[in-house]
Structures are given as C-alpha cells and as structure tokens.
Amino acid sequence: MDRLTYVCTVCSEHFTRKYSAKRHNQNIDSGAAEIVRLIDYLAGRSSRQYMPDKEACVQVSSIP
Ligand SMILES: [Zn+2]
C-alpha cells in the first residue's frame, strides 16, 4: 500500500494528488478545509477530530 491518498476534511472527498486536493480546497471550500493523508483522516475520524457534515461522497453506494 504505497498509494498516497489525500482527503478533504470538510467533504471527505478523496484525492490521489495533493495539489488537486489543495485546489479543491481553494475552489470549493474557500480554503476552510484541511487536507490530510487518508491514514491521518481515518485516525481523526476515529477520535472524532473530523466530523464531515455530509457523507454522500463516500457512502452513497450503500443506499438501496
Ligand atoms: Zn472539500
């Protein structure tokens, strides 16, 4: 698992390139988001450091 993935902490969207994530942050989230590595994001979610206000991006496929 050497694939680095970055996550926007506001919309929990995933990015494979950090500059894409940063550009998304500037364009979509007005720079309010924090771009973290997936492993750090998952750790933050576990400790409730990051609380996404919408889960559509991630779990829409699980809705029947
Ligand atoms: Zn975002």
Higher pLDDT, 46 or 53: 46
- Asked if 17 and 7 count as a contact pair (C-beta separation under 8 A), the reply is no
Is 12:52 a contact under the CB 8 Å cutoff?
yes
Give me the pLDDT at residue 46, please. 87
Q: What percent of the chain has pLDDT over 70?
A: 77
What pLDDT is stored for residue 28 in this prediction?
96
CA of 25 to the centre of ligand 1 (A): 6
CA 2 to centroid of ligand 1, rounded, Å:
23
Which among 24-33, 45-54, 55-64 has the top mean pLDDT?
24-33
Dist. CA 36–CA 54, nearest whole Å? 18
Separation of 35 CA from ligand 1 center, angstroms?
Answer: 9
CA of 57 to the centre of ligand 1 (A): 10
pTM value > 0.75: no
> How many CB atoms within 10 Å of residue 25?
22
Ligand 1 centre distance from Cα of residue 28 (Å): 6
